[in-house]
Amino acid sequence: MQKLLLPFLVLLALVCSLRAADEDANLKYFRDLAETRSYSLGRPVAPKLTPDGQTVIYLRGGPRDPVLRLYEFPVPAGPERELLTPAQLLGNAEEQISAEEKARRERARVTLKGFTRFDLSKDGARLLVTLSGQLYVVNRADLKVTALPGKNWIDPRFSPDGTAVAAVSAGELHVIELATGTSRALTAGATATLSHATAEFVAQEEMDRREGYWWSPDSQALAYQETDESAVAVRHIADPLHPEAAPTDFYYPRAGATNATVRLGVIARTGGATRWVNWDAAKFPYLTRVVWREPGDPLCLSVMDRAQQTALLLRADPATGETTELLRETDLAWLNLDDHAVLPRWLPGGGEFLWTTESRGAWQVELRAADGKLLRALTPPEFIYKGLIKLDATNGSIYVSGAANPCETHVWRFPLAGGAGTALTTAPGSHAASFSENAATFIHSYSLLDGAVGAEVLSAAGQRLATLPAMAESPPALPNLELTQTAGTPSLHAALIRPHHFKARKKYPVILSVYAGPTATVVHSARRAYLADQWMADQGYIVVSLDGRGTPYRGRDWERAIRDNLIDVALEDQVTGLRALGKRYPELDLKRVGVTGWSFGGYFSAMAAIRRPDVFRCGVAGAPVVTWENYDTFYTERYLGLPQTDAAAYHVSSVLTYANQLTRPLLLIHGLTDDNVYAQHTLQLADALFMAGKRYEFMPMLGTHLAGSSDPVVKLRQQMRVMEFFNRELKP
């Protein structure tokens, strides 16, 4: 007996040792992933070319250091020069961030530290940075740093002529004259519910508009937004670790409730009376865009009705406040905003402007006359437009981002005169460009299907002029990724991530990593986008992602299939896509499928686990929207209408409608100080499940909507809990 037992014990010890080694390797993989921010730390952030195209200015941290410093790199050969570091200004002191700045960073999903942004004067001679609410101007020539008066500044920007800085503090718009170092408040009367020159919550979170003021092109006046939130419901968020501290108030307009009242005014740089811009704000309450850019350009604004089915482009007279309608857009379902362009973009002389529209079934760039009349479309409907990059009127061209494949993003040039476009990038992946003022050179940033990433300076003809230096670490291995399309109708773009130690004849449990909601896709031709999914796959899974109807980049009808019902079409497409992949790939064990997602993806995961137990064995729902009448107006009403008149749409889209049907294990995760999707949502679901006698797991987190994503240890522990849950339910 002992002779038989000894080899068994040795084998058991070996198996345990190998398993422990695998676990240690998995933990190191994800810890490295978290500490390097998916190996992005140490790469240039927000690079800009100086107007002459001779130097690149950018921010950068270390390979595992999220504190951003300011650098410049002369083209073509450098050397790189460090211009300013936070330590030079703060010494050993910690950075102090005001509650308002924290909220702005949350809206922009900024999790890095130090100099999180910079402004470059139009002549390229000076830089403007903020640290701990203090403003600093940096002369590039001699690196002289000047602290500007005041504190707790947000959204600072140079005037176009570079002689002044505008910024907001305590709800008021100020101008700081650089020649004298004096600060002047242009507005007055701010209260807890009345503010000037900052965008309201829905503009920052949902409209991709974070500015609340705009310099006139001649630097002599500013347009600014006044926001009255006195009728907006207040939500209070308390810090659960510090019950002695008073809760923070947030003015949050939930679906069907009262929005902030917004108006637009124009005031002289030297102060004085405000001239208010007139439009029918009762009918068109949303101020979605304000554009006042180049000399000779008119002041323009875009406004939208509450139903988001009619939008106007208006031209305003700053002297009188009167407006003229240039064009009107309508859609029976809803109108999308172009989140990738500041429009209209006027051509020199003011006789024509660029515009984008979905009115012919897909996004297109148009050229219109000064009175709004359509002259011609510049991009064809079959081209997948993703953003306007640059107008080069001198050479009669525009540069846009887009592709023929929704999973890719390339840089294209189209002639203003009309005609075929030219692709400036061709390698499969995601490409972006930032042009110099004269469009002679541009910064080309890329993340490719083959795993290559980087940033370089190219000429307009495509010649490489310089490669920007990076300090980022490289991942130990690239994701084992396959991109495909499912058979059948609809055909969906899909990504499969297999373990690095994949065995062809073995069947693997499946994790559906999902978003499935409007405004975003998850299938991209950028291999490094799947590093976190690879961590899950290497623990013995195949991770699948699918983009179904309701997601962008496949035309108007594809996206609007979810009108009045945010779940049924999305759920049908994800299940159909999974089953189609299962038929093609026998290694997918569709009897063992888990689902995980965050935000809308968390909402989908909860719904999938509850409503389709025949497909999903378990689900992890991170920060899910549970009751849509408790989410914000601009996002929710776009798809579901008003709860007062479209109650059926809210009922069918609510997780609570189906909570008593739960039969599968469900893990809920939520940041307790989330000011976007409030923890109320998950607590509502937890209460409904409890009252229905259903079992569930709840992991509260200390943090906001991203629940500690900036802390590597927190992120590691969170993901370990998620994988422990999947291992228990899918690999018992």
Neighbouring residues of 181: CB distance < 8 A, sequence distance ≥ 6: 146, 148, 149
Calculate what percentage of the chain has a pLDDT beyond 70. 96
Calculate what percentage of the chain has a pLDDT beyond 90. 89
Average pLDDT, the chain: 95
Q: Are strands 275-276 and 261-268 parallel, antiparallel or unpaired?
A: antiparallel
Neighbouring residues of 95: CB distance < 8 A, sequence distance ≥ 6: 86, 113, 114, 131, 132
Structural domain tally of the chain? 1
| Residue in 458, 456, 474, 576 with CA at minimum distance from that of residue 516 | 576
Per-residue pLDDT tens digits for 213-242: 999 999 999 999 999 999 999 999 999 989
* φ/ψ of residue 413, rounded to 5: -120, 130
229 found inside a domain: no
Residue that wins the pLDDT comparison between 100 and 190: 190
In the set 219, 674, 675, 681, the catalytic residue is 674
pLDDT in the model for residue 94 = 86
pLDDT in the model for residue 214 = 98
Per-residue pLDDT tens digits for 343-390: 999 999 999 999 999 999 999 999 999 999 999 999 999 999 999 999
pLDDT in the model for residue 20 = 54
In this structure, of 17-26, 28-37, 401-410, 505-514, the range with the lowest mean pLDDT score is: 17-26
DSSP H helices, 510-632, are: 531-537, 556-559, 568-584, 600-611
Q: Is 538 a catalytic residue?
A: no
DSSP H helices, 466-517, are: none
pLDDT reading at 9 higher than 70: no
Q: Please give the Cα distance from 181 to 165 (Å, whole number).
A: 10
What's the rounded mean pLDDT across residues 703-720? 85
pLDDT in the model for residue 481 = 98
Using an 8 Å Cβ cutoff, are 692 and 644 in contact? no
407 found inside a domain: no
pLDDT in the model for residue 4 = 46
pLDDT band (50, 70, 90) for residue 732: confident
pLDDT in the model for residue 12 = 47
pLDDT in the model for residue 111 = 87
Q: How many CB atoms lie within 10 A of CB 46?
A: 14
pLDDT reading at 199 higher than 70: yes
pLDDT reading at 8 higher than 80: no
pLDDT in the model for residue 17 = 52
Q: Is 599 a catalytic residue?
A: yes
CATH code for the domain in which residue 726 is found? 3.40.50.1820
Residue that wins the pLDDT comparison between 512 and 30: 512
389 found inside a domain: no
DSSP H helices, 66-114, are: 86-90, 99-108
In the set 40, 599, 653, 709, the catalytic residue is 599
pLDDT band (50, 70, 90) for residue 574: very high
614 found inside a domain: yes
259 found inside a domain: no
CA 481 centroid distance within chain: 24
608 found inside a domain: yes
pLDDT reading at 15 higher than 50: no
Q: Please give the Cα distance from 127 to 145 (Å, whole number).
A: 9
pLDDT in the model for residue 18 = 42
Q: Which domain holds residue 672?
A: 475-730
pLDDT in the model for residue 580 = 97
In the set 196, 431, 681, 705, the catalytic residue is 705
455 found inside a domain: no
Q: Please give the Cα distance from 386 to 553 (Å, whole number).
A: 8
Q: Is 651 a catalytic residue?
A: no
Per-residue pLDDT tens digits for 102-144: 888 888 888 899 999 999 999 999 999 999 999 999 999 999 9
pLDDT in the model for residue 3 = 53
pLDDT reading at 19 higher than 80: no
Exposure b/e, 328-353, CB count within 10 A at least 16 = b = ebebebbbbbbebbebbbbbeeeebb
pLDDT band (50, 70, 90) for residue 168: very high
657 found inside a domain: yes
Per-residue pLDDT tens digits for 636-692: 999 999 999 999 999 999 999 999 999 999 999 999 999 999 999 999 999 999 999
